[in-house]
Structure 1
Amino acid sequence: MANKLYSLSDLKFIKPTTLRSWFTQKSSPHGKFCIVDVRDSDFVGGHIKGCYHYPAANFHYTLNDLYLQIFNDKVNDVVFHCALSQVRGPSSTLKFLRSIDDIKDPELKTYLQNNIHVYILKGGFTKWQEEYGNDNEVTEGYDKEIWEFGS
């Protein structure tokens, strides 16, 4: 079976308000959700609560770990983001989707092919922190000064 060739046009974006509502409901449309933050050194200054941090710089090398974490946590909806969700977020999402067919473990591969829905956070963490940076229910380690003067 050939790998599905995913392209940018296949990617789905969700708004920060939608993701925030998943926290409120403690569930996403398909069950459990996770956030994958692919920022590198710009991870400092805050992150979405409970996110998985898989930096884009070595994302390809940590893909299998991410697949296993999603499988073990029985996640159904996966939301990727970087600072703006314009380059690293979409690129990592495509790597994630394109590599599923290469997984050797049949149970893991089947789970990922049949049970997950993948999204990108529109506007990335930059937009998230504008709306929810000071919201301790959904944001951890937030440093407002970094975002006011560092961007």
Structure 2
Amino acid sequence: MSNITLGNLSYISREELAEQLKTSSSAPSLPSHLAIIDVRDSDHVGGHIRGSTWVPSSELDYKTPELVRTLKDKEVVVFHCALSQQRGPSAALRYIRERERLDQGRGGEKETGDGEEKEPGKEKGQKVLVLRGGFTQWQDKYGPDKGLTEAWQKDIWEFGY
């Protein structure tokens, strides 16, 4: 059983994530080391972070093993929902636990090699983060920026979430 909990997940601010997207030479796609997973459900309308992958939280039960396999070479995986209070952190935790389960099935080690355990969410060099404030805070600052946000609709967001 994993010792990782919601309480020890790591977060990234909207500013830090935007900076990674802005400095990417691969625009309009994401930098090759980064994946952004949007787990909003029907509230996905009104825009999304450029290059993000939409995996509704209602589909995570069967899509998480596939995500672990397809994202295995990414250095950073960022999860978010609307507010990143429930679905986003839960998805990140589910992803980390599934990755651990699959690694154990392959005989993978949780240790760094020097007898110390790795930080939660950083096994095999991959960092799993949650976007602080979710898409709601993201769009509040970066919604109109077409270089950072796709399909943003001002009329959906102008009166808040």
Cα deviation per residue 1:22-59 (whole Å; 9 max; x = unaligned)? 012228xxx71111100001111100011011111121
More moved, 119-128 vs 59-68: 59-68
- The answer for the alignment partner of 1:116 in structure 2 is 126
Contact 2:35 2:77 in 1 (8 A): yes
What do you get for the CA RMSD once the two structures are aligned?
2.2
Q: Deviation per CA, 1:40-82, whole angstroms, max 9, x where unpaired?
A: 01111100011011111121210122112213xx310011100
The letter of the residue matching 1:93 is A
> 5+ residue gaps in structure 1?
none
- Partner residue, 2:139: 129
Q: CA deviation at 1:101?
A: 2.2
Measure, in 1, the Cα distance between the counterparts of 2:69 and 2:99: 12
Tell me the TM-score normalised to structure 2 length: 0.80
Percentage identity across paired residues of the two chains: 39
The more displaced of 59-68 and 116-125 is 59-68
Greater than 2 Å deviation, 4+ residue runs: 104-107
Question: What amino acid does structure 2 have at the position aligned with 1:69?
Answer: T
Q: How high is the TM-score relative to the length of structure 1? A: 0.85
1:21 aligned partner: 19
* Equivalent position amino acid for 1:100 in 2: R
2:14·2:132 contact (CA, 8 Å) conserved in 1? yes
Q: 1:85/1:40 Cα in 2 relative to 1: closer, same or farther (>3 Å)? A: same
Give the aligned residue type for 1:51.
S
Following superposition, the deviation at residue 115 of structure 1 comes to 2.5
